Amino acid sequence: MTGEEHDIEWNELHASTPAKTKTHTSVPITPVRTYSPTLRVMVMSEFKEHSDDTPNSSVQGSSDLERAADSLGESVGDDQIEKNPEQAKLSFDMVTTDPLTVRPRKASIAMCAGLGIAMLLLGAVLWLFAVRTVTGQEYDDMVWSYFSAALPTWFIAVLKIFVHTYIDVAIVAVFALIAIAVVIVRRRWALLIQLAVFGVVSFAVAATVKRVLPRPFLVNVASYTSNSAPSGHTLMAAAGAVVLVCAVPRVWRAVAAFVGWAFTLMVALSVVEAQWHRPSDPLMSLLIIAGLACIMLAFTRSSGMDEPGTRMSSASVQIVATVMITAGIVAVLYGAYVYWQIEPGLDLGAQWARSGACTAAFALMLGVSLVTFGMVAALRQLTASPLSKLGLIGAPPEPPKPAEERDN
């Protein structure tokens, strides 16, 4: 549709709405919570025509069209068209010309896919090192033997709470129920399908991968010789927390990310402290969930951007996600440095290496869990609504200004 045709169609809409006065003043867009059936029909017609002209366009599906139309219909009522047609026309133009109203950025989708593949590859590399090398098996065995002794008594008492499977399952069930309720109330049906597929795939990975992966006998170990990677408890906890983070609205996303991270970290530490798993097992679970979550978000097809004229910045998500990712990277680097320092003592089972091995394991689990939930929170926000004019950080896109304001 050309610009001239667009103006003609708008003029026809305006002409169909009787005006009480021909004089009006332009004011900033202030959405009114009245519904405009006329304007909604106009938006639906605009998007349907665009979709017919461009079959390969990503603006597909009636749900996307209805969301955009409902957004404008709730923002500008018929009385607004009558009182201030210029303001209503600005809202109409914002919805019908801004592609971010109905779909996320292609760069955001590509970022999710790339990071998802990278996380899964890191999980595979971790497994190869921890299971298929002598050094990896020696490190895992040392931490498995002395991790509990390296922790303070009060912290062990806290971790004992999360060793009970029924407690972990109950918490994950609460996360899932909250997520389902929120998604249904918000009518995010595409997101519901995404989360359902993510949950099924996560459960399938937890149920099958551990049985399929081999564990060669390379060195005598104090722990059991059968394969224990990945940790099913950690994978289940992380998956439930990710579902919650992705389901809640923007204002609760940072809180959900923090709560989900804390719960997942406690489960990861508890299974190592209880000698259910070697430290590489929960690390592998976290990387798997991070990868699957990113790939899930890469299939986002509907934007959750705020209504035109009501777009708000996401300061909490920006701050929390940035802090979590930064702190997580620092913790991972510190853990890797400590491991490098104690690596010569692994062959001999040196006593001086025990404390450092446990410290490195703690730092790595802390860091990977922080990066996982910081990344999921940021990417969920990125695919649901751009965080800035550049789509990454800062304030969200601003609505266009009236012609009089631009001239002044």
Amino acid of residue 322: T
Query: What contacts 276, CB < 8 A, 6 or more positions away?
Result: 163, 228, 231, 233
Of 1, 252, 219, 202, nearest to 130 by C-alpha is 219
The percent of residues in the chain predicted with pLDDT above 70, rounded, is 66
Q: Tell me what pLDDT residue 12 has.
A: 52
Of 188, 316, 308, nearest to 250 by C-alpha is 316
Of 321, 312, 322, nearest to 396 by C-alpha is 312
Query: What contacts 191, CB < 8 A, 6 or more positions away?
Result: 183, 246, 247, 300, 302
Phi/psi of residue 376, nearest 5 degrees? -65, -45
Q: How far is CA 381 from CA 39, 112, 218, 221, 321, in A?
A: 28, 11, 45, 45, 10
State the angle between helix axes of 189-212 and 232-247 in degrees (0 to 180), rounded to the nearest 10.
Answer: 170
Q: Tell me what pLDDT residue 107 has.
A: 80
How far from each other are the two terminal CA atoms of the chain, in whole angstroms? 30
Span 292-331, pLDDT tens digits: 999 999 998 766 555 555 555 567 888 899 999 999 999 9
Q: Which two tokens stand for residue 329?
A: 């990277």
Amino acid of residue 222: A
Span 199-230, pLDDT tens digits: 999 999 988 998 999 999 888 888 888 889 99
Question: Cis omega (within 30 of 0) on the bond before 18?
Answer: no
Q: Using CA atoms, how far apart are residues 11 and 90, in angstroms rounded to an integer?
A: 13
DSSP 62-83: HHHHHHHHHHHHHHS-HHHHHH
Helix or strand holding residue 157 (H, E) = helix 153-161
- Of 20-24, 83-87, 190-194, give the lowest mean pLDDT range: 20-24
Summarize the confidence of residues 60-85 as an average pLDDT.
48
Q: In the predicted model, what is the mean pLDDT of the chain? A: 78
Q: Tell me what pLDDT residue 220 has.
A: 84
